Amino acid sequence: MLQWASTISALLAAGFWFWSATIKLPKEINSGYGGVGGSVQTLGDKLRFQSRLSAMAAVFAGISALTQALSQLAH
């Protein structure tokens, strides 16, 4: 049971980190003087979303490590 929890948590962590890594950020930031690119607000929003995904990945990685350690202790 614990090994399955560890495996599933590890897969979820990998999925969230992959999702986080594929977030497209603007290559240029519009300075407000007719520049080309994304807005500062867009960049901030995407960075916050990317951060939330990474945080979820870290939580699942921690759960995976904990359940794996508990599994080893149980044997």
Indicate the pTM of the whole model: 0.82
Q: How many CB atoms lie within 10 A of CB 53?
A: 19
Cα 27 to Cα 61: distance, rounded to the nearest angstrom = 30
pLDDT at 21: 97
Q: What is the pLDDT along the chain (75 residues), one digit of tens a residue?
A: 999 999 999 999 999 999 999 999 988 877 666 666 678 888 899 999 999 999 999 999 999 999 999 999 988
Note whether 57 and 21 are within 8 A (CB): no
Q: How high is the pLDDT of residue 26?
A: 85
- Determine the pLDDT at residue 28: 80
